[in-house]
Amino acid sequence: MGKIVVTGTAGFIGSCLAHHLFRNVSTSLVLVDDFSKSEKSNNLIGLENCTQIDRSEFLGQLMDLDIDFIFHLGARTDTTEFDVSIFDQLNLNYSKTIWHYCAEHNVPLIYASSAATYGDGTLGFDDDLSTMDQLKPLNPYGQSKLDFDLWAKAQNNKPPFWIGLKFFNVFGPNEYHKTRMASVVFHAYHQINATGKMKLFQSHNPEYTDGGQTRDFIYVKDLIAVMLFWYDQKTGSGIYNLGTGVPRTFNDLANATFKAMGLQPNIEYIPTPEDIRDKYQYYTKAEMARTLHQGYGKGFTSLEDAINDYVKFYLQQDAYF
């Protein structure tokens, strides 16, 4: 039996997926990442018996591996990085090489795109491929993801089955290393733990109350469930959103975090910094109709239940997935 490759396995989503596959799928795993970063090492505890290949060496070893499937989740994800060459190398060209390998060797591929491709959201959040070339991301990270989506869509030589997934606001265990790039739930828990209160941005849009700004938050366990749905199905190739389809407010998130911690809500509203005020998103929502049409029917964990699980079984115990 061939191997399943997971790139980005030292990171947040990649490590959760790798652990799930290790526990539930009877096949060999090949884990790919930059394993030199000690702050991510705890994400890999329990996966020591899997084959590990450094990101810089993986492409050169592709031909020597007996691969059945690739989950390509590895990428530079820092939205504050503005060196385009880094994204060209790690997000665009690296992904193209994996795509070509999958196409030439008949290997199915699932790769991570991003909701950052939608930019400020003025064009909506519909994963209709026919309008994808009109999108305008706000940073080089989002642009690199859109560039690869558009490149993949234009290819005549494709893997036998391929899926690009536009991840929305993902949260859950194994994001300890992400520091300032970690989820709002992660920061809410630690801020409340340290100060007893949660600071949220005021609204500078009359259509939204303070803390009423919304996001499509998705628990990493639901994200994995959808990826495994596509892994099992292997039909319906294309690019799809991956959120819950239900936008929730930051007030909802804060209140759920206080409740999971057994505390009364104590929210302070502070001005949104002026340098990001004109780019600030007030609403995101993954349009999920195309995924549901393909047959995904498990539903999604509510924000309250997901935060309760994350806080009680991971954050409060410093536990990993």
Domains defined for the chain, CATH in brackets: 3-169+218-245+286-300 (3.40.50.720), 171-215+247-283+305-317 (3.90.25.10)
User: If you average pLDDT over residues 306-317, what whole number do you get?
Assistant: 98
Q: Which residue has the tokens 């385009």?
A: 84
pLDDT at 219: 98
How is 265-302 classified by DSSP, letter by letter?
A: --EEEEPPPHHHHTT---------HHHHHTT--S----
Residue 77 pLDDT greater than 70, yes or no: no
pLDDT band for position 216 (50/70/90)?
very high
The pTM of this model reads 0.95
pLDDT at 54: 94
Residue 316 pLDDT greater than 70, yes or no: yes
Maximal C-alpha separation, the chain = 59
> Rounded mean pLDDT of the chain?
94
Residue 251 pLDDT greater than 80, yes or no: yes
pLDDT at 90: 76
pLDDT at 140: 85
pLDDT at 196: 97
How many CB atoms within 10 Å of residue 69? Answer: 21
pLDDT at 208: 95
Buried b (16+ CB within 10 A) or exposed e, 122-151: eeebbbeeeebeebebebbbbbbbbbbbee
pLDDT at 25: 87
Residue 88 pLDDT greater than 80, yes or no: no
pLDDT 10s digits, 25-56 = 877 999 999 999 899 999 999 999 999 999 99
The residues carrying an active-site annotation are 141, 178
pLDDT at 200: 96
pLDDT at 271: 93
User: If you average pLDDT over residues 91-107, what whole number do you get?
Assistant: 94
Q: Are 172 and 179 in contact (CB under 8 A)?
A: no
pLDDT at 181: 87
d(CA 73, CA 111): 6
DSSP 238: E
| Most confident listed range (79-93, 127-141, 192-206) | 192-206
pLDDT at 61: 94
**Angle (nearest 5°) at CA 179 between 173 and 182:** 50
User: If you average pLDDT over residues 85-95, what whole number do you get?
Assistant: 81
Percent of the chain, pLDDT > 90?
A: 84
d(CA 187, CA 251): 14
36 burial (CB, 10 Å; 0-12 / 13-18 / 19+) is exposed
Higher-pLDDT residue of 248 and 139 is 248
pLDDT at 75: 80
Higher-pLDDT residue of 83 and 23 is 23
Output 183-189 pairs: Cβ under 8 A, ≥24 positions apart. 183/217, 184/215, 184/217, 184/250, 184/253, 185/217, 185/253, 185/257, 185/307, 185/310, 186/315, 188/253, 188/254, 188/257, 189/257, 189/261, 189/311, 189/315
Q: Are 81 and 73 in contact (CB under 8 A)?
A: no
pLDDT at 80: 66
The strands making up 29-33's β-sheet, listed across from edge to edge, are 51-54, 29-33, 3-7, 67-72, 109-114, 162-167, 238-242
Length of the chain counted residue by residue? 321
pLDDT at 138: 86
pLDDT at 79: 64
DSSP 243: S
pLDDT at 5: 97
User: If you average pLDDT over residues 221-236, what whole number do you get?
Assistant: 97
User: If you average pLDDT over residues 108-129, what whole number do you get?
Assistant: 94
